[in-house]
Amino acid sequence: MKYFLAVYKERNFTKAAQHLYITQQTLSAHIASLEKELGCKLFIRSTPLKPTFAGDIFLRYANEFNTLYTSIEEEFLDICDEKKGLLRIGIAHTRGRVLMPDIIAEYKKDHSDITIQIIEGENDDLPSFLINGTIDLMIANYSQNHPDIKFDNYYEEEVILLISDKLLENTYGKRKNEIVNMLHQTLNLSLLKECPFLLSSKDDIAGRISSIFLSEVNFDLKVAVEAKNIETLLEMCCKGIGVCFCPKILVHKTLDNKQISALHLFQLDERAKYMISFGFIKKPYYSKAVREFVEVAKVYKSKDVF
């Protein structure tokens, strides 16, 4: 099954063979033998290879078999108390920067022989990584139900509005304190119509949430910078370049007290909150390495570091 899955993923016999550490001839012969046994072609021999209808159907069974085999392998490794292994975690870059260093440092105290591989990707891409076996566990915001994935709520994040004191001073002068007080009483974004904004991509959670709130304003938005990297926008916000929507956890985990004190932080409404969950492929057994990583991460959360 792993030979078929490798070819399906790479769409190339040579690349798949390199990944499997076997010769191309051996791999081609194996796929040909499988096709003969099934009585139909699984791939159209073109460049790149294209799966046939039968190949797409066989993929579902191959994934199910691979999931079951992995469960068997993991359970018997745990029975034999085998503490070595590989744990592959899928997470967005920014969230990984915030969470992984402290959690992994704690996890490694009792799991020094477990190699951890962090696979970074967009929230929407991580479920497919789970399905195709690229990762063992994902940590993400994923609001949709998925028939093949089990979700376990981790913690609630929220996006907040940030404005530097410097920007408010330069824009409103003596009215700065009045504007700040009014924003705290009722977050009317029209009060900021004179300010430039820093916008992140709508592929990003902060970008999607900011677009909801900004779609309700009745003024022409001044956009200073658009960028995909929210950390870059946060640094620009600190320098007074513009108003920024940013996950609260990122602010408190990446900025020091001096930087935060130079900012005004405003909480949005419930639409700015979202759940971060662990995601696992549905299967009969989860390895001890995965289960204990989740336990360590939950203890980390209980310390109110968020």
Each residue's pLDDT tens digit, 106-125:
999 999 889 999 999 988 88
Residue 78: pLDDT over 80 = no
**To which H or E segment does residue 20 belong?**
helix 13-20
Average pLDDT of the segment spanning 205-215: 94
Tell me how long the chain is. 306
- If 0-12 CB within 10 Å is exposed, 13-18 middle and 19+ buried, where does residue 261 land? exposed
* pLDDT over 90, % of the chain: 62
Tell me the three state secondary structure of residue 297.
Answer: helix
Q: Provide the greatest CA pair distance for the chain.
A: 82
Q: Residue 117: its pLDDT value, please?
A: 96
Q: What is the pLDDT of residues 228-264, one digit of tens each?
A: 999 999 999 999 999 999 999 999 999 999 999 999 9
Q: Residue 144: its pLDDT value, please?
A: 78
Q: Residue 204: its pLDDT value, please?
A: 87
Which residue type sits at 118? I
Residue 68: pLDDT over 90 = no
Q: Residue 62: its pLDDT value, please?
A: 86
Which residue type sits at 201? S
Q: How far is CA 276 from CA 65, 121, 134, 302, in A?
A: 29, 15, 20, 15
